Amino acid sequence: LSPVCLGSLRRAASINAEYMGILIVISSCGFIIQTMPQYKYPMYVGPTRESVPPIFEYIEIVSMTLFGIEYFTRLVAASCCSYEVLKMSPEYFNVLTCCCKSSWMEPLKKVGNWFFRPMNLVDFLAILPFYLKVMTNRPGIFDLGYLRILRLARVFRVFKVGKFSEGLSLYYAVLKASSSAFKLLLFFSCLTAVVFGSLLYELEHGVYEPADGKWYRPDISGSGMQISPFYSIPQCFWWCFATMSTVGYGDLAPTSTVGKVVTILCMHVGILAFAMPITIIGSNFSRMYDMKLKLMMEKAAEADQGGMFLEKHIQRLDGIMERIGKINMEVKNNVRELEIFTQRLHKERPEIMKALEDTSRTMMDDVSDDKLCQEGKCEKESEQKMKREGQ
């Protein structure tokens, strides 16, 4: 493609990305606002209890239709693009494309690999509930009421913004580069939850009362008994995670002195356990951000250099054109002077002009004779060669 076509395609892609981003924001806002009490039963009375004002239904229909067109257009286009454009390896296979090993199945392989990309799966889950509802809620078709739970998948449309946002793309790259730090964070969190959850259970679960089947522990003042919320180790895990992250909701708290000491230790261990992996994540973010800024600066510098290079060549071309114009003027002046000289010579010294014409005619005749002799010589040589071949 020519640079003009590539520039037009880039502008069209940029405009499409902007419009899709606006559509995602409008669709997500409609999905969120329609859950407000004034737009739901009983404050809003519609044909059914699940009905919402028509404006939200129009937003849903228009946005989902456009999302579906955009998704299926990209799905079909993926089969026609090269692996370089799709940014995937020809050797990559997944569950859907493991059987696509023949050359004629390459388009199916590209579509299957494209479908399982994370952001493309998000797009699919975002439009799936709408089209399932369209296909199953018609008269004469069996009603799948349990598919209403898939309405929750509409929240995935928010993640579609990630394709058009450099900030979210950077965030995703940082999370991907920090996978080892997240594994370390998960390991320390689970280890700490098991240890401190077990300790607090032993200290705070209290005594069992067969009369009502509940566990009782001393209250905060120590003068009475209250139902213990730490009746199992899994129940203690919630307290442990809230304490380690220093959130401290306060819904679960120890009352014994030893339990409070264990809580203090859990806080400090949690700070250390969270601090180390988060430091790695923060350094990865700083490194990725610096790389992105450096890349942007390099692209800007290349664009400036390209502009300076083009400007320099334009200046050189302007200079060459100016010199060509001067030479053209000089040639015209010389031709004009030669014509004037020839006319004066013809008037004032006609004998010289006649001699020049005779000399020129003689030279042309000599050239013509030499050419005829050369052609005759070539013919004789060719005849002799043919005779020799015949013998």
pLDDT in tens, 315-337: 788 888 888 888 888 888 888 88
Pair 18, 11: CB distance under 8 Å: no
Residue 163 binned pLDDT confidence (cut-offs 50, 70, 90): low
Q: Please give the angle made by the CA atoms of 76, 78 and 83, to the nearest 5 degrees.
A: 160
pLDDT at residue 139 is higher than 50 = no
Residue-level pLDDT at 140? 40
Percent with pLDDT over 90 in the chain:
3
Least confident of 88-97, 254-263, 295-304: 88-97
List all residues 6 or more positions away from 285 whose beta carbon is below 8 Å from its beta carbon: 174
Residue 149 binned pLDDT confidence (cut-offs 50, 70, 90): very low
Verdict on whether the full-model pTM lies above 0.75: no
Q: What is the mean pLDDT of residues 241-252?
A: 84
Rounded to whole angstroms, the Cα distance separating 391 from 379 reads 19
pLDDT in tens, 97-124: 667 677 777 778 888 888 888 778 877 8
Average pLDDT of every residue of the chain: 77
Residue 265 binned pLDDT confidence (cut-offs 50, 70, 90): very high
Residue-level pLDDT at 376? 65
Q: What are phi and psi of 70, to 5 degrees?
A: -65, -40
The more confidently predicted of residues 245 and 136 is 245
pLDDT at residue 162 is higher than 70 = no
Residue-level pLDDT at 112? 81
Residue-level pLDDT at 141? 41
Residue-level pLDDT at 148? 43
208 has which bridge partners? 215
Residue 261 binned pLDDT confidence (cut-offs 50, 70, 90): very high
pLDDT at residue 386 is higher than 80 = no
207 has which bridge partners? 216
pLDDT at residue 145 is higher than 50 = no
Rounded to whole angstroms, the Cα distance separating 100 from 110 reads 9
Rounded to whole angstroms, the Cα distance separating 307 from 46 reads 62
Residue 262 binned pLDDT confidence (cut-offs 50, 70, 90): very high
Q: How far is CA 312 from CA 300, 309, 317, 347, in A?
A: 18, 5, 9, 53
